[in-house]
Structure 1
Amino acid sequence: MPDTNDAPEPRRRLLPLLTDGHGGRSAMTCKFRCGNACAHEPPNTSDNAYFGDIVTAAVSRRGLLRTGAAAAVVVGTAAAGSLAGGSTATASGSAAASGPADRRPDDDVPEYGRPVAFTPVAGNTVDSVIVPNGYDWSVTIAWGEPVEDGAPAFEFDGQTSRAQRKQFGYNCDFVAVLPLERQSDHALLWVNHEYTNEELMFRGWPGPENATDDQLLVLMAAHGGTILEIERVDDTGEWRPATRPRRYNRRIHAHTEFRLTGPAAGSDLLRTSADPDATTVLGMLNNCAGGTTPWGTILTGEENINQYFGASAPVTDTLTAERYARYGIRTEAGTEHGWERVDPRFDVIGEPNEPSRFGFVCQIDPYDPDSTPRKLTALGRFKHEGATTALTADGRVAVYMGDDERYEYVYKFVSARTYRDGGSERDRDHNLNLLDEGDLYVARFTGDSPEFPGSPPADGSFDGTGEWLPLVVDGESQVDGMSVEEVLVFTRLAADAAGATRMDRPEDVEPHPVTGTVYIALTNNDRRTPAEVDEANPRPTNRFGHVIGLDEDGGDAAAATFTWRIVLLAGDPEDPETYYDGFDKSQVSMISCPDNIAFDPAGRLWLATDGMPSSVGVNDGMFVMPIEGDDRGHLRRFASVPVGAECCGPFVSADGRTAFIAVQHPGEEDGASPDAPASTFPYGDQPRPSVVTVWRKSPSGGPFIGD
């Protein structure tokens, strides 16, 4: 497999303003992933205050950004309206899920805080996975390959829905690896299948209105997720599908039965003609990121669910139309995907409550292939990027979540009952129900520099305090005029009323497994105007995104208040408006649009990107940034993904020997088709979303990823 040539990365200035309307994404990406959300006005029309309108309070100084000039430059351009441009069981971006928040790595994994030593991969447009010299990679599994018993071999021009329900699904996103029977050479791999690219999946795709019924059913079957037993190759860091009988393997798709749990289960708001009890839903849709729980289940978040529902006539009920509009669900006659042709529940005129049964965090037990997955209504309904966990000081479970759309919010759930760490079946049954009852909050961020944005922050730092605004506490609604069921089904409206801070697309929200600091990836927001900037979102036309570190007061995940600071303002390192946690920017790799984040056993922050700007001509990739010590902020590109692909996952194994990367939508370029593919990854023919493993070519036992 190819290595980087280690050539110095050329310095390219980002264009002041990209004009394609999609940032670094192709129009095809915008169409199929989120239903062209960028082309529409943001669903959040609330008038929640910006920091400049909020009276700030004194805040204890800790972990300030080491920048002064950058803050001044950002403020200046804002005013002018111009800006350039755990044990073996841990999850991608969810190391905290494998144990308490203060859990430190075991003795047999990399020492905490060890420095990064590899030579960064240069920015490139190669149609392959590129890794540093001394590393190698291989495909673990690709779209269409067999998962369940009886699945046929993949045949691009002979796809059927019956086959796809047993084969690896399409666009792979969140990756988690969990232990299997205390073995070091076998594990369970979980992968989300977020959405489909019809124009790349079928030769001569005729559009949803002319597609065959079975083509539409193939698309429905290609959504969901996969549980796959994997095995280590010899004594290396490489992994492949297990060759022994695989009783855990399972495909979850748009017709898999789910059980609604929590306070909104059984609500009139969720009743349909097929499910009058409001307890059973078929399928999960557009699952993006996720996490794992301390008891070994998967949490996976439904994101852009709005695009799957059509309307055979205009929606005329005013309240229904208002609720639909807040979630971007179609209110005029028409369709995006045409699924209502083969499944009438996707026509909102006949089933107005069906959209409200999607947009939840789902819990899946990978160790029980016969179990019924759950939709957790207590965690609220919005466009979940993911859900990651930490334990509170008194042993309850906190779940952190982002709502991935421009101007949306950051949320936290805290369970009512405590986690049991015993190994009995009774303890696990108790834990499986922990997320059905608890308190739900949304974040309000306050800057500590009242002079901003009119003047640079006096302390030279973008930081401040914040509070978790209650939405549901002790089983009671905290939002005037809304019942508990309404808060949990129409959570965006509840958060609007509570006065939450409108953020720049909060995606992955991950607690650090050692420090407890919660890192928030804010991918971008090209609609924020100079009048709307605040200290937590300090750039107008934010094409490149940023990362915030949030510290709960007292170090307790159940705290009602927190402090925060920006640790990364992404973009061209030569641009004075960017910031890499105070590190010398002449030595860092350029990064844009941070999406998924993760931590390795040495405590280092890993980031995967989605939408590197077209102006720089560089593929997306996986990066690492130390968060402590002299190397803090020294961000380096570890891997790049093929043409048109997004880098997802990422995941670094608990022993530090393997990185898993989900290569999502390779070849997703405008004008591409099966007869004229923009990518031939991974097998030299049609592009196929894939999970790959990366490992160090070295003797048994090390060294580790990132060394």
Structure 2
Amino acid sequence: MPESAPRRRLLPLFAEVGGGRSPKTCQYRCGNACFHPAPNKSDNPYFGDIFRAVLSRRTALQGAAVTTGAGALGLSSAGSAAANERNHPSPRPTFEAVQPNTDDVVTVPPNYDHHVVIRWGDPVLPGAPEFDFENQTGEAQEQQFGYNCDYVGFHQLDDDHGLLWVNHEYTNEELMFAGYTDGNDADLEQIKVAIAAHGGSILELERQNGTGEWRLAGGDRPFNRRITGNTPFRISGPAAGHELLRTEADPEGVEALGTLNNCAGGYTPWGTFLSGEENCDQYFVGGDQVAEEDREALARYSIEVEGDTYVGRRFDRVEERFDLAKHPHEANRFYWVVEIDPTDPESKPTKRTMLGRFKHEGATTAITSDGRVAVYMGDDERFEYIYKFVSAKQYVKGSRKHNMSLLDTGTLYVGRLTGNSPEEEIDGTGTLPSDGEFDGRGEWVPLASNTESFVDGFTLEEVLIHTRLAADAVGATKMDRPEDFEPSPVTGKVYCCLTNNDAREPGQADEPNPRGPNKHGHILEVVEDRNDAGAESFTWNVPIVCGDPEDESTYFAGYDKSKVMPISAPDNVTFDKDGNLWVATDGQPSALEINDGLHVVPVEGRFRGELRTFATVPVEAECCGPLITEDNKTAFIAPQHPGENGTVEEPTSTWPDGDFARPSVVCIWHTQGRDVGTA
């Protein structure tokens, strides 16, 4: 905002719930995960405890006071390591910031325009029927744009044509069907619609008159495709065919049906999309009837194994495979990263087991110094971990067949982070330690390669199928809901959204997770050693501690907080070509009492930390996507679940058309043809 502009008072909107999210988000996206004990029962110490123990021992041996700051334990500060980079100027966004609001519209800055590219139910495949809200069928939905659009990826075909991939994360049935109560009483056709509304869509777009505006292409659109909860997927990598992936319908364990709860994703150097399966536990019933030896692993993945487990969407009423009492291994065929080739509509999408099985927020890539491919991933649940995969083989530009095999061989790692400040300086309040930053060192602990397990007591296949349990065993660092990971195209630094964690107690705070409870979340900056994505160690710091800037516990990389905007629950991130970080949020309505939105913040130079709001989304919607095209001319966002606390009969949002709420993808561009982010 302009330096002299007053900040609008934050308006009350919703009652707060666990994790800073609305009740309907908690119910439908993640099965009320925040209202249940965290599934991570490991006794991994919080790494502040390890550090404090070492400091105490050193003090006792040396009889001297502990040194604070980056010198303790020989750890170098991530801030110091990046000092030269921060002094490099980067173009500063100059648009007039959008003010906090609770309006039922998409709001963009002056000199910008936007339009809805596609909405739930719009035809995708040639010959698809027009959307009929009152008479929707599963067959029609398989040909139409699905529900709750999340990650947005773009594959450019030429200057004026491209392919948009959109995840369809989950469904809000009470907004899709009049009179809906729950899965036990739902009409079977409604359940078929819900299954078909998951997955993803590929859409051909065309540029309008050389501007930043993109619309659906005309004609037959041969690349258009719907992937649903019933689409056949190939299972690849070392775990393919293992007995834990075999079912009655697939005795060889090499083909799974469908992809579910696809949250974030990434675009590979060879032109495919990666999509992360996340909160898949909510689709399965009958966990109380599986064999005793299978229950620990199911529970570690948040699947109910006690009490009345026949609740929720009840997909099992039309697809028996979702009943674990009858098909106990079906759940193991979900929670993977899937790969989709947008240029081949006949190709079978693939579940990549070498990337591990957990609640994948997404997967984004970087090239190592020796030409291999690194994939960064977060496990989105309270007290879960960050991961990295590094391929065994090098990326070969132009060799599509070779590159399509890169994600099946390599090494899977989990992150272990250590802070460098003494006990009394990390107290859970968010107060900075004496060295001026939350920072420290980290290591990527190997879990498995494609030929062997590095975890005692686990086979290679068990590491990949029960990755959470393997990561527990090596003492990975418990993080505050690690969601999207994204490497900067300018500096190579990697940024991870830690969305929030109300369950972290003050005594559990550590330097990489410095607040307890953590209502608003924070952002982690990782600087790989030698600036090499293939490194096994790194420095890290926390440049943004989110919330209302007037809250003393917030931090914006040392920037003047009177000149920044409020932000809560950072979820997904992307970069523009200049290296500015764009952050979409999921939880501001209940945490800050303002609509979610898309924010941008420089992460280099003297304006590092100057966070401002670029767009806001409608009432009770989450801002998903986001995507800035390579030419910086277009921003795509995907507002999902608008009006999620309402019903068909009593809507709380009527965006985008004024009748009933429909998740949609939105294109934003500068009306004078300038780059996104400029005034």
Secondary structure, in 3 states, of the residue corresponding to 1:178? strand
1:667 equivalenced with 2:643 (yes/no): yes
1:60 equivalenced with 2:76 (yes/no): yes
Could you tell me how far apart the structure 2 residues matched to 1:704 and 1:269 are?
Answer: 48
Residue equivalent to 2:97: 120
Alignment of 1:402-421 (within 5 A): 402-421=378-397
Contact 1:112-1:602 at 8 Å conserved across structures? no
Deviation at 1:615, TM superposition (A): 5.7
Residue equivalent to 2:402: 430
Deviation at 1:22, TM superposition (A): 2.9
Deviation at 1:474, TM superposition (A): 5.6
Give the letter aligned to residue 436 of structure 1. D
Deviation at 1:212, TM superposition (A): 1.7
Residue equivalent to 1:302: 277
Could you tell me how far apart the structure 2 residues matched to 1:541 and 1:65 are?
Answer: 29
Once the two structures are superposed, what CA deviation does each residue of 1:158-217 show, in whole Å capped at 9, x if it has no partner?
Answer: 10111100000000000011111xx21110000000000000000111421121221101
Give the letter aligned to residue 652 of structure 2. A
Residue equivalent to 1:681: 655
Deviation at 1:473, TM superposition (A): 3.1
Deviation at 1:314, TM superposition (A): 2.5
Contact 2:490-2:577 at 8 Å conserved across structures? no
Could you tell me how far apart the structure 1 residues matched to 2:36 and 2:78 are?
Answer: 40
Secondary structure, in 3 states, of the residue corresponding to 2:624? strand
Residue equivalent to 1:529: 505
Deviation at 1:331, TM superposition (A): 1.3
Contact 2:78-2:441 at 8 Å conserved across structures? no
Structure 1 residue corresponding to 2:199, chosen from 218, 221, 224: 224
Give the letter aligned to residue 519 of structure 1. Y
Residue equivalent to 2:219: 244
Residue equivalent to 2:37: 41
Could you tell me how far apart the structure 2 residues matched to 1:284 and 1:244 are?
Answer: 29
1:319 equivalenced with 2:293 (yes/no): yes
1:32 equivalenced with 2:24 (yes/no): no
The 1:446/1:119 distance shift into structure 2, 3 A limit, reads same
Contact 1:610-1:647 at 8 Å conserved across structures? yes
Could you tell me how far apart the structure 1 residues matched to 2:256 and 2:102 are?
Answer: 42
Deviation at 1:531, TM superposition (A): 1.4
The 1:19/1:666 distance shift into structure 2, 3 A limit, reads closer
Give the letter aligned to residue 162 of structure 1. E
* Worse overlay, 206-215 or 41-50: 206-215
Give the letter aligned to residue 508 of structure 2. E
Residue equivalent to 2:122: 145
Q: Percent identity?
A: 56
Residue equivalent to 1:577: 553
* Worse overlay, 281-290 or 57-66: 57-66
1:162 equivalenced with 2:160 (yes/no): no
Alignment of 1:8-19 (within 5 A): 8-12=6-10
Deviation at 1:61, TM superposition (A): 3.4
Give the letter aligned to residue 609 of structure 1. T
Once the two structures are superposed, what CA deviation does each residue of 1:581-606 show, in whole Å capped at 9, x if it has no partner?
Answer: 11100010100000000100111000
Residue equivalent to 1:328: 302
Contact 2:409-2:449 at 8 Å conserved across structures? no
Residue equivalent to 2:414: 442
Alignment of 1:252-401 (within 5 A): 252-311=227-286, 314-315=288-289, 317-332=291-306, 333-401=309-377
Secondary structure, in 3 states, of the residue corresponding to 1:575? coil
Secondary structure, in 3 states, of the residue corresponding to 1:499? coil
The 1:615/1:542 distance shift into structure 2, 3 A limit, reads closer
Residue equivalent to 1:70: none
Deviation at 1:14, TM superposition (A): 10
The 1:529/1:137 distance shift into structure 2, 3 A limit, reads same
Give the letter aligned to residue 403 of structure 2. N
Could you tell me how far apart the structure 1 residues matched to 2:6 and 2:122 are?
Answer: 38
The 1:441/1:454 distance shift into structure 2, 3 A limit, reads closer
Give the letter aligned to residue 433 of structure 1. S
Alignment of 1:489-504 (within 5 A): 489-504=465-480
Contact 2:79-2:437 at 8 Å conserved across structures? no
Contact 2:548-2:592 at 8 Å conserved across structures? no
Q: TM-score, normalised by structure 2?
A: 0.92
Could you tell me how far apart the structure 2 residues matched to 1:350 and 1:615 are?
Answer: 41
Structure 2 residue corresponding to 1:644, chosen from 603, 608, 620: 620
Contact 1:130-1:639 at 8 Å conserved across structures? yes
Could you tell me how far apart the structure 1 residues matched to 2:557 and 2:11 are?
Answer: 20
Residue equivalent to 1:214: 189
Could you tell me how far apart the structure 2 residues matched to 1:348 and 1:246 are?
Answer: 39
Q: TM-score, normalised by structure 1?
A: 0.89
The 1:703/1:493 distance shift into structure 2, 3 A limit, reads closer
Contact 2:201-2:227 at 8 Å conserved across structures? yes
Once the two structures are superposed, what CA deviation does each residue of 1:235-256 show, in whole Å capped at 9, x if it has no partner?
Answer: 2211111013210000000110
Q: Tell me, which stretches of 5 or more residues in structure 1 are unaligned?
A: 67-101, 103-110
Contact 2:11-2:593 at 8 Å conserved across structures? no
Give the letter aligned to residue 656 of structure 2. P
* Worse overlay, 519-528 or 458-467: 458-467
Could you tell me how far apart the structure 2 residues matched to 1:652 and 1:14 are?
Answer: 31
Could you tell me how far apart the structure 1 residues matched to 2:233 and 2:608 are?
Answer: 44
Deviation at 1:335, TM superposition (A): 2.5
Could you tell me how far apart the structure 2 residues matched to 1:352 and 1:265 are?
Answer: 17
Give the letter aligned to residue 235 of structure 2. L
Deviation at 1:155, TM superposition (A): 1.1
Q: How many residues align?
A: 647
Structure 2 residue corresponding to 1:546, chosen from 522, 543, 548: 522
Give the letter aligned to residue 285 of structure 2. G
Contact 2:20-2:520 at 8 Å conserved across structures? no
Secondary structure, in 3 states, of the residue corresponding to 1:190? strand
Contact 1:52-1:453 at 8 Å conserved across structures? no
Could you tell me how far apart the structure 2 residues matched to 1:602 and 1:52 are?
Answer: 35
Residue equivalent to 1:99: none
The 1:13/1:52 distance shift into structure 2, 3 A limit, reads farther
Deviation at 1:64, TM superposition (A): 5.2
Structure 2 residue corresponding to 1:51, chosen from 27, 40, 47: 47
Secondary structure, in 3 states, of the residue corresponding to 1:281? strand
The 1:578/1:267 distance shift into structure 2, 3 A limit, reads same
Once the two structures are superposed, what CA deviation does each residue of 1:553-604 show, in whole Å capped at 9, x if it has no partner?
Answer: 1111111110000000001101121101111000101000000001001110
Secondary structure, in 3 states, of the residue corresponding to 1:63? helix
Could you tell me how far apart the structure 2 residues matched to 1:384 and 1:162 are?
Answer: 29
The 1:454/1:523 distance shift into structure 2, 3 A limit, reads closer
Contact 2:77-2:539 at 8 Å conserved across structures? no
Contact 2:279-2:359 at 8 Å conserved across structures? yes
Q: Tell me, which stretches of 5 or more residues in structure 2 are unaligned?
A: 55-71
Give the letter aligned to residue 176 of structure 2. M
Deviation at 1:460, TM superposition (A): 2.4
Residue equivalent to 2:667: 693
Secondary structure, in 3 states, of the residue corresponding to 1:57? helix
Contact 2:387-2:415 at 8 Å conserved across structures? yes
Secondary structure, in 3 states, of the residue corresponding to 1:528? coil
Deviation at 1:630, TM superposition (A): 1.8
The 1:197/1:14 distance shift into structure 2, 3 A limit, reads closer
The 1:49/1:315 distance shift into structure 2, 3 A limit, reads same
